[in-house]
Structure 1
């Protein structure tokens, strides 16, 4: 899954002002602008609906998984039940934010929804389950012509405590990480932060709000963000997204307060600072804008994911030289970056340099996570060899 945070006027994003020292948090009531938006008829998913699974599914899971008494075997049985790779595998779709039930029925969703499904199944079987927010540096994708900031969550599950005659406790080795991200092994080295169920609900609402904004449904987007603020007011993404919405509705003063709230919760976040810099520039506060922009630019120059994003953007515009430069800058910062190596392979393929492309793919495979990620690269290399022979 990916948490998404809308970015405003991406082409202009090159920096931002210094965050005001000791910025105080405001109450949600001070930041919400209910009078500026119309009520919506669309029903907002409740917390219970987001996690709820049908009883027949839970019963089936219990029959297949709780038959195992060994903690490790029970955990493996849970993973096999969730993924079902050989029969009806779950598919990752970046822009599909669904409830647990919808994800199970449709068999495809983004990583947030896939993680919610896994969490609901694990909890229904007595497993301990802990959400984790993976601290990915700033990284965007483009959807419907708008750049969207990606985030990522995963789940650590532990089988139910099973008391034996020797009263042995389950060790940490029985913990299993459930992660639906296929971007490569570089993400495994990133720090994580434990988050709770309320945070996940707020991120779910944020994704729904972002989807609504992309389709110009501003009242619906506000309704989702209003709900996110109610369930978990300390999630910084909510206030950043709300500020973007206010900016789109020509409410600059409200947007500034929301941006500052987001920065008070998550200081020096480059995306939020960049958005605030754009707002200050539009308001004629050019000195503040330049100060923030310089700070953001320095942060981005240390972020290998930023250059992967730049490379992908250049590649989409067939600016091959610019793409190569960006991907190589990413690799200089992080030599074991499969995403950048894969980007260089794509550049080589488009230039019909299949030998170079194979070399980059082999290096990307080497640094990718074992298992499905490496098998994916094996498949790409096989396909590339077939194309090279036919060319």
Structure 2
């Protein structure tokens, strides 16, 4: 099986050291080896409101909504109801607050950033949180991408005395069902963590687009923003590895492992790197260590299922896809192909169920269209009584 690099995309910086170093070790950076960035690399305007955002804040509609619903509930209703701004979830690009507002879409981090920008402008206390959910894996541009989840909670303004001001009462704004969010553990993040996440995401997105030079500058900025965090160090190592700077890649990975010795993303990146460096015995030892932590890597059963599906073994494909779905129930790609396996077996109801879940779980508008098209086709088959074998 072709080895692909594992990269933490929206990870919640769980690798922050208890005592942060003041700055990243200069030896980790190699500016001279990379072309200047093709765009400004900065998070300076991350939370800055655009003129259009300020105009919306001052609009009669928004003002009336705050008056009727209260500041916090009015803001959330304005941003995320389907009758006003009609913001959509889209995972491909991480944006600033102003860019998210203009595009009317963003991933969970972008939506958190934009919500925070509005809330801070309205004088609300803002708290960022890392939510303890399983990583959501995807593949793009020759990379494995693991996304964790962040949300935001809004405190009450001291001026909201008419509703009974309580400084300890917070409204959690999340992009997963409220019942699920309430059951999950969370950890508070600092605004600096959000900045580092944004920079790290931009590095990952540049890597997916094969823009290695740009990825370096974004990754460097992320490491500099939060020097004790594992995810940016891992991303920097991936950049070096793709650029052919193997010794620097190892140094970045080793630095990350001093903070989080059993981080699987870093370990899985380091193992093939050791092979390339001509140290097979170290690589074998590390492979055994990885297997002891996690015997089956992400996509293990999915890839086997695709082989079975192409071979016409639809029962085997279904069983393998089910094993992958059990490990990652919200992965739209796994759900979709499990639905296809059921379709090939003639299990129309099961196929419709899993493809519907693929539509609902997808974070990409392009893939939602693909899944919806297949779902429409499946409904047509059901209506006409056609069976697929």
Tell me the TM-score normalised to structure 2 length. Answer: 0.75
- Maintained 8 Å contact 1:136/1:152: yes
Asked whether the 8 Å contact 2:126–2:152 carries over to 1, the reply is yes
Check whether the contact 2:79–2:85 (CA below 8 A) recurs between aligned residues: no
Q: By how many angstroms is 1:141 displaced? A: 0.9
Q: What pairs with 1:150-299 in structure 2 (closer than 5 Å)?
A: 150-162=147-159, 164=161, 169=166, 172=169, 174-179=170-175, 190-299=184-293
Decide whether the 8 Å contact of 1:40 with 1:223 is kept in 2: yes
Map Cα deviations across residues 96-128 of structure 1 (whole Å, 9 max, x no partner).
122111111111222221221111111111122
Number of the residue aligned with 1:79? 76
1:244 to partner: Cα distance: 1.0
Secondary structure (helix, strand or coil) at the match of 1:38 reads coil
Retained in 1: the 8 A contact 2:112–2:151?
yes
Give a deviation string over 1:269-305, Cα, whole Å, max 9, x none: 11111101111122232332223223333433589xx
Structure 2 distance, partners of 1:348, 1:135, is 32
TM-fit CA distance, 1:41: 4.7
Residues 199-249 of structure 1: CA deviation (Å, up to 9, x unaligned): 222221222222222333222111112222222212211111111111122
Task: Provide the aligned C-alpha RMSD in A.
Answer: 4.0
Contact 2:66 2:75 in 1 (8 A): no
Task: Give the C-alpha shift of residue 12 in structure 1.
Answer: 10
Moved more, 317-326 or 233-242: 317-326
Task: Name the stretch that deviates more: 250-259 or 225-234.
Answer: 225-234
Corresponding residue of 1:17: none
Give, in angstroms, the shift of residue 11 of structure 1.
8.2
SS at match of 1:51: coil
Which of 31, 36, 42 matches 1:34?
31
CA distance in 2, matches of 1:215, 1:236: 23
Aligned to 1:9: 3
Pick 1 or 2: higher relative contact order, CA cutoff 8 A, min separation 6: 1
Is 1:130 equivalent to 2:127 in the alignment?
yes
Does residue 1:100 correspond to 2:97, yes or no? yes
Quick check: 1:51 aligned with 2:42? no
Long gaps (5+) in structure 1: 1-7, 14-23, 369-376
1:354 to 339, 348, 353: 348
Give 5+ residue unaligned stretches, structure 2: 8-19, 362-370
Structure 1 Cα separation of the partners of residues 25 and 75 of structure 2: 40
Distance verdict in 2 for CA 1:331–1:242, change over 3 Å: closer
Q: How many residues align?
A: 355
Question: Structure 1 residues 213 and 50 mapped into 2: Cα distance closer, same or farther (>3 Å)?
Answer: same
- Determine the structure 2 residue equivalent to 1:91: 88
Q: Is the 8 A contact 2:65 2:78 kept in 1?
A: no
The verdict on how the C-alpha distance between 1:313 and 1:36 changes in structure 2, with shifts beyond 3 A counting, is farther
Aligned residue for 1:372?
none
List per-residue Cα deviations over 1:16-36 (Å, max 9, x = no partner): xxxxxxxx9894312111222
Change (3 A) 1:389 1:187: farther
Q: Which moved more, 1:111-120 or 1:208-217?
A: 208-217
**1:216 alignment partner, SS class:** coil
- Aligned residue for 2:227, secondary structure, equals coil
Q: Tell me how far apart the structure 2 counterparts of residues 346 and 205 of structure 1 sit (CA, whole Å).
A: 37
Q: Is the 8 A contact 2:301 2:323 kept in 1?
A: no
TM-score, length of structure 1 as denominator length: 0.75
Distance of aligned partners of 1:66 and 1:345 in 2 relative to their CA distance in 1, 3 Å threshold = same
Matched, 1:328 2:325: no
